[in-house]
Chain A
Amino acid sequence: MLFSKECRRILTSLTFIIYCFVVGLFFVSQYFEECNGVPYVPDEKISEDHDVIMHGAVDDLATEFFANNYVCYPYGFYKSVRLKEDDSKKVEECLLEVTGLTHDELMDIRDSGEKYYIERGVQETMYYEIGEMPVSDTITYERFCELMGKVDDILGGGSNYKVDDIVFRYSYVPMTDEEIEGVISDLYDKDGVAGGYARLFSDYMGIVLGIMPVFVTAALVSADRRKRVSDLIYTRKISSFKLVFSRYTALVVMMFIPVIFCMIAASIQLIKNFDFSDLALYRMFTLPTFWLLPQIMIVTAVAMIVTEVFSSGIAILLQFAWWFHSNMSNGERLSGSIGKFDLICRHNTIYGRDEFLLSRNDFIFNRVFFFIAAIVITALTAYIFELKRGGRFNGFRLFGKDSIFRHKA
């Protein structure tokens, strides 16, 4: 059976061994270590109270405005932003509207604050110790979000005032004892413990599985060209559809096997740390399969088609860009919000079942979408493969002697 032969080829490839090592290492260092021993107890929760969010954000904005030094993380990288007068004026206008203060009142607050200095790298910035800033009685939460969005735009994005993140950054409030008890009992009663851990497991493994499959796939798919075997393969009787799908299935299955081993290790850890009777252990297998398998499928499918059309290098670059964008676009939200088209779904806690269920429909849509998209893309890859083997398409080479950018006399 061709499938088993392809599995064997993958098994003996160096990139697959590296893949297994990285996946295993990531599992141990991120999930296994964190989940060793008794579970941590949460002490904060996200508040729905708009006042809490607005006060937190305005305090930070005023502090950064007075110092004219804004901390931003566009695409995850630290950037200290200092605004020119015009832009600073625009931020001030937003701040005045949110606080309901006049320019003079705002300056009074600044001047009454005690100065202190913070060193960031080689720069030393002067800050003002200010008390709690007022929030205008007349401003609505919607208008507040609008203004924060405007400030974020002025700062070039990635600031503390990015609208999508603002609720997660400024809304944490301490939990009461009853609330803590409720969250813990949800873990035991509703999640059967394993459900909560399965979400955390999937969260961590989703990060590594958003990038690593591209290496194994690109190496396998480009091997025909690199080892100059393409013509031998192309002249065989096998249909392109059967060949491409055999290779695709073998890749997905082989790359999922280390994940299954990690699931088994995570289950054994749960058995060690909890009463077996408290555990709905099957959840450690069902949820991560539904969560992670479509992710491996889509990354593999995209890597296959890009490698066929362009090259393995382009496939890796493209996947890295997608992975990076997906990671960074989550921003502060490591739980509680899963987009319909997020490659990497995050829920970085064993708790928060209800919060997770709020995004349940989007999550299901997301995974089913990627599952179907992966199959469609693979079918398209088979079509491209058929064109290539019949000499009707040779792919686009961006670099090297066949580069499409190379001048041809």
Chain B
Amino acid sequence: MEKKIEIKNVSKFYGRKQALFDIDLTIEQGMFGLLGRNGAGKTTLMKTLAALHKKKSGEITVCGVPIEKAREIRAMTGYLPQDFSMYPSMKTDEALDYLGALSGIPKADRKKKVTSLLRKVNLIEHRHKKVKELSGGMKRRLGIAQALIHDPTVLIVDEPTAGLDPEERIRFRNLLCEVAEERIVILSTHIVGDIEATCENIAIMDEGRILWKGTVEQLIDNARGHIFTSNVEKRFIPQIKKEYIVTGMLSQNDYTTVRIVSDSEPDLPNTVLTEPDIEGAYMYCLHSSGCDVKGGEE
């Protein structure tokens, strides 16, 4: 069985509103990042891949199994929803055991699995705590554990690091990388840093469309020659933000070093071409695809 997800010309509607437009993607083993702004259609695509949403047209096969065979898809897919939540008065190990039972794992195996997963996600000491007593980061780790309990071939993780502190975020990303060694992991996020740290292959979505797909290096290469830094007086900042895509600012005394995404060299003093980072490359990708990404507030 080839570990591959193939998405061909997939469209999805909510009533009369189209949410996905002819999505074409091939996702192979390892970490795959789906990057996009809020409302880009990432969650819709994730839910469609998890057989939670019905597509209008197109084809999806997960490791050779058509998405319409929902039972088989569910058996091979682990899903961590964006707003992971569990019955709050259940204990941590109870919650995992319950979801394991729903995944059809026999009782004897379940006990071992629950213990090993809790150890893996570093929750073994909190196994008797109620879900409502866990911190945000712990909950998210429990979320990963529940998604892995039936040892799925595909792991779909929707915005897993939103709201986590930096330490938890790093811990969570490392955990995802670990589990991605033997399966397909699809990570959907609007946080560019998560993708940079974990994914080799990515796709960028906006308004229900795939704007770009490839490797992180290719994305950065695309932006080469379009990222600049300028050292400008602070008073010009509002005007610069109106005219250019500003991806970073560093203030020093009366001057600010701004990082700018632009098709051509900006007409600003002390401007130099800079090596792109992934954030700039992402912004350039959105900009070059015609998205409005200027932060023009005064």
Chain A residues near B (Cβ < 8 Å)? 1-2, 5, 9, 12, 223, 227-229, 231-239, 243, 389-392, 408
CB-CB nearest 5 A-B residue pairs = A236-B102, A391-B53, A228-B85, A235-B79, A231-B81
Query: Are B102 and A389 neighbours in the complex by a CB distance under 8 Å?
Result: no
A408 vs B14: C-alpha distance when bound (angstroms): 12
Interface status of B201 (Cβ within 8 A of chain A): no
26 contacts across the A-B interface (CB closer than 8 A): A1-B101, A1-B107, A5-B97, A5-B98, A12-B89, A223-B87, A227-B85, A227-B86, A228-B83, A229-B86, A229-B87, A231-B47, A231-B50, A231-B79, A234-B52, A235-B51, A235-B74, A235-B77, A235-B78, A236-B104, A237-B75, A237-B104, A238-B103, A239-B71, A391-B52, A391-B54
Q: Which residues of chain B come closer than 8 Å to A5, judged between CB atoms?
A: 97-98, 101
B171 to chain A, nearest CB (A): 22
| Residues from chain A with Cβ under 8 Å of B226 in the complex | none
Q: Does B99 contact A (CB under 8 A)?
A: yes
Q: Which residue of A lies closest to B81 (CB)?
A: A231
Interfacial chain A residues near B78, Cβ < 8 Å: 235
Contacts of B150 in A (CB 8 A): 237
B contact residues vs A (CB 8 Å cutoff):
15, 47, 50-54, 70-71, 74-75, 77-79, 81, 83-90, 97-99, 101-104, 107, 146, 150
How far does the Cβ of A233 sit from chain B's closest Cβ, in whole Å?
Answer: 6
Q: For residue A236, which residues in chain B have a CB less than 8 angstroms away from its CB? A: 74, 99, 102-104
Report the minimal beta-carbon distance from A228 to chain B, rounded to whole angstroms.
4
Q: How far is the CB of A403 from chain B (nearest CB, A)?
A: 14
The residue that B102 contacts in the complex, of A223, A233, A392, A408, with Cβ under 8 A, is A233
Contact call B52/A232, Cβ cutoff below 8 A: no
A237 touches B102 (CB 8 A): yes
A392 to chain B: closest CB distance in Å? 5
Given contacts A233-B102, A237-B75, A237-B104, contact A392 B54 (CB under 8 A): yes
- Bound together, the chains give a CA A408 to CA B15 distance in angstroms of 11
Question: What CA separation (Å) do A232 and B86 show in the bound complex?
Answer: 8
Which residue of the partner chain B has the closest CB to A235?
A: B79
CA of A9 to CA of B88 in the docked complex: distance in angstroms?
11
Q: Give chain B residues whose Cβ lies under 8 Å from the Cβ of A239.
A: 71
A234 to B52, CA, bound (A): 7
A229, B143: Cα distance in complex, Å: 11
Chain A nearest Cβ from B266, distance in angstroms: 40
| Cβ of B204 to closest chain A Cβ, rounded Å | 24
Contact A391 B89 (CB under 8 A): no
The B contact surface, by secondary structure, is: loop
Query: Once the chains bind, are B47 and A391 in contact (CB under 8 Å)?
Result: yes
- Kindly list chain A residues whose C-beta atoms are within 8 Å of the C-beta of B15: 408
Cβ–Cβ contact B99 & A227, under 8 A: no
Tell me the complex Cα distance, A229–B132, Å.
13
Which residues on B sit within 8 Å (CB–CB) of A243? 102
- Given A234-B52, A390-B70, answer yes or no on A2-B88 (Cβ-Cβ < 8 Å): no
Are A235 and B101 closer than 8 Å at their CB atoms?
A: no
State the Cβ distance, B77 to closest chain A Cβ, in Å: 7
**Which residue of chain B has its CB nearest to the CB of A231?**
B81
B185 to chain A, nearest CB (A): 15
What CA separation (Å) do A236 and B15 show in the bound complex?
26
A373 to chain B minimum Cβ distance, whole angstroms, is 28
* Central interface residue in B87, B88, B107, by most chain A CB within 10 Å: B87
Instruction: Name which residue of chain A comes closest to B77, CB basis.
Output: A235
In Å, the complex CA distance between A239 and B146 comes to 18
Give Cα A97 to B203, complex, Å: 89
Contact: B104 with A238, CB < 8 Å? yes
Most chain-A Cβ atoms within 10 A of its Cβ — which of B74, B102, B146?
Answer: B102
Q: Which residues of A contact B74 (CB under 8 A)?
A: 235-237
| CB atoms of A231 and B71 under 8 A apart | no
Give A18 Cβ to nearest chain B Cβ, in Å.
Answer: 16
A13 to nearest B CB, angstroms? Answer: 9
- Taking the nearest CB of chain A, how far is it from the CB of B110, in angstroms? 11
Contacts of A1 in B (CB 8 A): 101, 107
Chain A residues closer than 8 Å to B104, beta-carbon distance: 236-238
Contact for A237 among B50, B71, B146, CB less than 8 A: B71
Partner of A227, one of B47, B88, B98, B101: B88
How distant is the Cα of A2 from the Cα of B105 in the complex, in angstroms?
11
- Write the nearest CB–CB distance from A239 to chain B, whole angstroms: 7
Given A5-B98, A9-B87, answer yes or no on A237-B103 (Cβ-Cβ < 8 Å): yes
| Distance of A233 Cα from B86 Cα, bound (Å) | 10
B53: chain A residues within 8 A (beta carbon) = 391
A390, B71: Cα distance in complex, Å: 10
One of A2, A229, A231, A234 near B101 (C-beta < 8 A): A2
State A408–B47 Cα separation when bound (angstroms).
23
Most B C-beta atoms less than 10 A away, residue of A237, A239, A408: A237
A237–B103 alpha-carbon span in the complex (Å): 5
A264 to chain B, nearest CB (A): 30
A229 vs B86: C-alpha distance when bound (angstroms) = 6
B51 — which chain A residues lie within 8 A by C-beta?
235, 390
Complex Cα distance, B53 from A2, in Å, reads: 26
Q: How far is the CA of A47 from the CA of B123 in the complex (A)?
A: 75
- A294 to B: closest C-beta gap in Å: 29
B283 to chain A, nearest CB (A): 31
A1 to B83, CA, bound (A): 28
For residue B274, give the distance in angstroms from its CB to the closest CB of chain A: 42
CA distance A228 to B132 in the complex (A): 13
* Neighbouring B residues of A233 by C-beta, 8 Å: 102
Note all chain A residues with C-beta closer than 8 A to B97: 5
Q: How far is the CA of A5 from the CA of B102 in the complex (A)?
A: 10
Q: Min CB distance, A303 to chain B, in Å?
A: 19
Q: Name the B residues within 8 Å of A237 (CB-CB).
A: 71, 74-75, 102-104, 150
The complex places the Cα of A236 from the Cα of B103 at a distance, in Å, of: 5
Chain A minimum-CB-distance residue to B102: A236
Report the bound CA distance from A88 to B287 in whole Å.
84
Q: For the complex, give the distance between the alpha carbons of A391 and B79 in Å.
A: 15
Given contacts A5-B98, A237-B104, contact A232 B81 (CB under 8 A): yes
Q: How far is the CB of A251 from chain B (nearest CB, A)?
A: 16
